[in-house]
Structure 1
Amino acid sequence: MCVCDDGNPLLRRELGEGGSVVRVRVLVVDDHRIFAESLAAALAAEPDVDVSAAGSGPAALRCLERAAAEGRRFDVLLVDADLGGNVPGERPAVPVQDGNADGLVDGISLVAGVRTAQPGVRTVVLAEKDDPRRAALALQAGASGWVAKDCSLSRLLTVIRGVLRDETHLPPALLTGVLRELTAARKHRTESERLVASLTPREREVLRCMVAGLGRKAVAERLFLSPHTVRTHMQNVLGKLGVHSTLAAVALARRAGVGPAELGPAAGRIDVEESSSA
């Protein structure tokens, strides 16, 4: 077993270097040190498993990046569902830019980040309790499995090897709840997409600026419009989306998959100049 924490990874193999053995590289990510080390030690006892451990989301990302640079990519990530939670007596996760609303890398955010950065890595979420909503969020983020922390080692190994065959693993008791959550989320997203599709191209551009956090004056400067015109567009966006605030419009836009406007120079991006009477 080796440990990757705060920039000091020790990536090595300690078991079975036989060329005929197909080895699985696993990274355990949990901020409960005793649990992480115990699980890593148990997995390391398997002849075909190489395992490392990281104590936070940022440490895990550094470990993944370093392993990829060395040509020793991990195959499976085991992520604590409650990673970054404020547990008494535990050191909090390190704040980073791409975390949740509190600036922390929680388990599901880490899953999404890994899917984007290293899509070949399979992720499995380890949870202390069954939660259909969070399990559905994990699957939507790119996880291949959701298992209980207190499951048997043989069950966990079955899941690890299964996700490498592109299988998805969920506890049977969660299936109905997860399917219900996914169906509701799909319906909600479809309705959000329909509302966004009703916007004009200019209104969609204004919405993307709103998603990027730009205020009315910044949007006006970016799109070469008057503040009055931008105000009119914003009012039209809120009306067509059926919401009453910028925050609600941004939330709906994100559900519909609308990304933020790029915050680089805007010159040359607008084909038609609009007057304040538009």
Structure 2
Amino acid sequence: MQRIRVLVVDDHRIFAESLAAALAAEQDVDVAAAGSGLAALRCLERADADGRRFDVLLLDADLTGALAAARDGDDDYAVPLIARVRRTHPELRTVVLAERDDPRRAAAALQEGVSGWIAKDCSLSRLLQVIRGVLREETHLPPALLTGVLRELTATRKHRTESERLVESLTPREHEVLRCMVAGLGRKAVAERLFLSPHTVRTHMQNVLGKLGVHSTLAAVALARRAGVGPADLERAVM
């Protein structure tokens, strides 16, 4: 029997542990619980080190936009948890556990690569159905959310055209810096990767924010993602 490894993440630790205990009663499910986004990242890293990667992430809707700490201590820059997980664990299927239907957040989650959105108070059998379904490459949404999500996705496509126009105004170097920002790198890491001084990188980042018409790194990353800008390839050394 092939076992399914599930990680439950909820900032209400009691809920996470209770749900994990219920899932653990299934013969084919191994489950762990984490009480925060950062704890989830550490749990995923330990699983990688042990060669026992998780298959499904059950994530509290309130944590979908939570910020994961930057790698560099000198920057406040951070990236949404879902984006970071998708970058480091592209094979992991994520299902959002929500207390209420929210078409806008559900649409944003789907665009980040989430495979399902389900109510926290759903039955265990329904949750298991969704878990097994996403492992078959299915996408699960409550029927009541479908119309609202489609409306949000249509609006997002309109915003994407404007975002693409703004990104096209960047110089090649600014575009390279933006891709590093999308990858979650702070100013110091960008400087090391591109062989630039931190001061020069700071100037480039300020120019990027100005040309994109935003006031924060997080907003710039969100706009870049709408425009289809992917992260810099962190595995490839810059020559």
TM-score by length of 1: 0.63
Aligned residue number for residue 10 of structure 2: 30
Query: Tell me, what secondary structure is at the counterpart of 1:113?
Result: helix
Q: 1:222 to 1:37 in 2, by over 3 A?
A: closer
Gaps of 5+ in 1: 1-20, 86-92, 263-267, 270-278
Gaps of 5+ in 2: 188-195
1:138-165 deviation digits (Å, cap 9, x = unpaired):
1111110000000111110000000000
Please report how far the alpha carbon of residue 56 of structure 1 lies from its aligned counterpart in structure 2 after TM superposition: 1.0
**Residue 83 of structure 1 is aligned with which of 63, 79, 85?**
63
Please report how far the alpha carbon of residue 208 of structure 1 lies from its aligned counterpart in structure 2 after TM superposition: 5.4
2:64–2:82 Cα contact (<8 Å) kept:
no
Tell which deviates more after alignment, 43-52 or 76-85.
Answer: 76-85
2:64–2:109 Cα contact (<8 Å) kept:
no
Q: Distance in 2 between matches of 1:260 and 1:116?
A: 9
Aligned residue number for residue 205 of structure 1: 173
Aligned residue number for residue 158 of structure 2: 187
Please report how far the alpha carbon of residue 246 of structure 1 lies from its aligned counterpart in structure 2 after TM superposition: 6.4
Q: Distance in 1 between matches of 2:83 and 2:215?
A: 25
Aligned residue number for residue 146 of structure 1: 117
Aligned residue number for residue 70 of structure 1: 50
Please report how far the alpha carbon of residue 44 of structure 1 lies from its aligned counterpart in structure 2 after TM superposition: 0.8
**Residue 54 of structure 1 is aligned with which of 9, 12, 34?**
34
Q: 1:104 to 1:261 in 2, by over 3 A?
A: closer
2:67–2:81 Cα contact (<8 Å) kept:
no
1:76–1:121 Cα contact (<8 Å) kept:
yes
Please report how far the alpha carbon of residue 84 of structure 1 lies from its aligned counterpart in structure 2 after TM superposition: 8.8
Q: 1:171 to 1:165 in 2, by over 3 A?
A: same
Q: Distance in 2 between matches of 1:154 and 1:260?
A: 37
**Residue 132 of structure 1 is aligned with which of 95, 103, 118?**
103
Q: 1:175 to 1:157 in 2, by over 3 A?
A: same
1:174-193 deviation digits (Å, cap 9, x = unpaired):
01111111121122112321
Q: Distance in 2 between matches of 1:176 and 1:67?
A: 38
Please report how far the alpha carbon of residue 38 of structure 1 lies from its aligned counterpart in structure 2 after TM superposition: 1.1
Aligned residue number for residue 96 of structure 1: 69
Count of equivalent residues:
212
Q: Distance in 2 between matches of 1:144 and 1:260?
A: 21
Q: Distance in 2 between matches of 1:184 and 1:210?
A: 24
Q: 1:95 to 1:118 in 2, by over 3 A?
A: closer
TM-score by length of 2: 0.73
Please report how far the alpha carbon of residue 68 of structure 1 lies from its aligned counterpart in structure 2 after TM superposition: 1.5
1:53-109 deviation digits (Å, cap 9, x = unpaired):
011111111111111221111110100011399xxxxxxx997227xxx8788xxx2
2:4–2:55 Cα contact (<8 Å) kept:
yes
Aligned residue number for residue 192 of structure 2: none
1:210–1:246 Cα contact (<8 Å) kept:
no
Quote the sequence identity (%). 69
Please report how far the alpha carbon of residue 256 of structure 1 lies from its aligned counterpart in structure 2 after TM superposition: 2.1
Q: Distance in 1 between matches of 2:24 and 2:145?
A: 29
Please report how far the alpha carbon of residue 111 of structure 1 lies from its aligned counterpart in structure 2 after TM superposition: 2.0
Which structure carries more helix by proportion?
2
Q: Distance in 1 between matches of 2:67 and 2:113?
A: 23
